[in-house]
Amino acid sequence: MNKTITFGQVPSNAIVGCATTALTVEEKAWFQSMRPVGLILFARNINTPQQVADLVDEFKLITNNQYALILIDQEGGRVSRLPSPHWRIPPSPTEFAKLYQVSPDAAVRACKLNYQLIGADLKRVGVNVNCAPMLDIPQANASRVVTDRALGNTPGSVIALAQATVAGLQLSGVEPVIKHGPGHGRGTTDSHKTLPIVDADLNTLAAWDFLPFEHFKNQSMLMTAHILYTAIDNTYPGTLSPKVVNEVIRNQIGFDGLIMTDDIDMHALSGTTAEKATQALHAGCDLVLQCSGNIEDLWALEPALTPLSGKALTRTEIAASKASASFQDIDDSALLSELDSLLSGEEGRL
């Protein structure tokens, strides 16, 4: 079990993006002044392994935080930020869901191997948090933003494969973020573009959508969903709703770890960057995620930010402790060989 770290100079309650493969002069000044607790990386920030490691080290140095949370969305399939030829493009999570229909044991083993390999890729360049697994259970009419990435279409499949995802990442010293709480699977539109509205009643949501989140309620980090759940709060989307964050995620589901927003500037939410961030924090989120990498957006976010304190600080320190777990290098070729055999079905014929 990891010993909980304590931040030296307390960072602020934000995880942010940057513009390119190295920090600009303006970004360095902002990071040094505001000291966000984390950095999230996208394809625009990634070129070579050495370049990514240098970028991570520079962010930690500028913010004076060796325990900074360094995030990425490396799910596999179309959500793969690490490009070839320097990295393997992992299979989509849907591949493991398909295999689960045929052989649950093979799917679970393959999924664990896959995310152990992903975790190794991340940890080698200093990335210590992966925004996975996605626990959303898609309905028949769900948006492709969920269906293209789902670990299955039943609670059982999602829970089993998400457990394998978590285990694989943690074997490589990378801490997972479960998402998108309390469930994005009924959203029929893409929250990057517009606000999904879910009209299912609370009993239906509790009996299906919430189940994976309840199973993983002891994980260290959760990302919210920008969805209007009319049965819970017909005014504010989940990320901005005290009812969703406190009554559902905290109390009904029982999650007491770190809650971060999904990207606060996605088009599902309305208002200025500072207004949305402030409302999310007042709703009960611990950290605000702002991903654009535009310096103007960071300046716009600034009025909402404060140094971490109270439970939010404690939860963040626990997450950072787990994300600082050591990594013992692995034999990639052996794990890849077994993974390929499982996905091709050869393992079962041996």
List, in order of start, the domains of the chain with CATH numbers.
1-30+186-320 (3.20.20.300), 68-174+325-350 (3.20.20.300)
CA neighbor of 96 nearest in space, from 156, 144, 158: 158
The amino acid present at 268, given as its one-letter code, is A
Give the type of residue at 249.
Answer: I
pLDDT score recorded for residue 3: 73
Q: Cα(225)–Cα(47) distance, rounded to whole angstroms?
A: 30
- pLDDT value for 346: 66
* Angle formed at CA 13 by CA 10 and CA 16, multiple of 5 degrees: 115
Q: How far apart are CA 330 and CA 116, in angstroms?
A: 9
pLDDT at 315: 98
* Helix ranges restricted to H, the chain: 25-34, 49-63, 93-102, 104-124, 144-147, 155-171, 202-207, 211-215, 242, 273-283, 295-301, 310-323, 332-344, 346-349
**Closest C-alpha to 129, from 257, 9, 239:** 257
Name residue 228's beta-bridge partners: 197
Give pLDDT, residue 350. 37
For 202-224, the pLDDT digits (tens) are 999 999 999 999 999 999 999 99
What is the per-residue pLDDT for 347?
Answer: 57
Strands 197-198 and 228-229: parallel
Main-chain phi, psi angles of 321, to 5 degrees: -60, -45
Q: Tell me if the pTM is above 0.85.
A: yes
pLDDT confidence of residue 188: 84
Name which of 71, 13, 55, 100 is nearest 277 in CA terms: 13
Q: Which residues are catalytic?
A: 192, 262
pLDDT of residue 4: 81
Q: Calculate the CA dihedral of residues 212, 216, 222, 226 and round it to 10 degrees.
A: 10
The parts of the chain modelled with pLDDT lower than 50 are 348-350
Q: Look-up: residue for tokens 């959760």?
A: 222
Q: How much is the pLDDT for 349?
A: 40
Q: What is the pLDDT of residues 11-66, one digit of tens each?
A: 999 999 999 999 999 999 999 999 999 999 999 999 999 999 999 999 999 999 99
Which residues sit opposite 15 in a β-bridge?
Answer: 38, 289
Buried b / exposed e along 196-212 (16+ C-beta atoms within 10 A): bebebeeeebbebbbbb
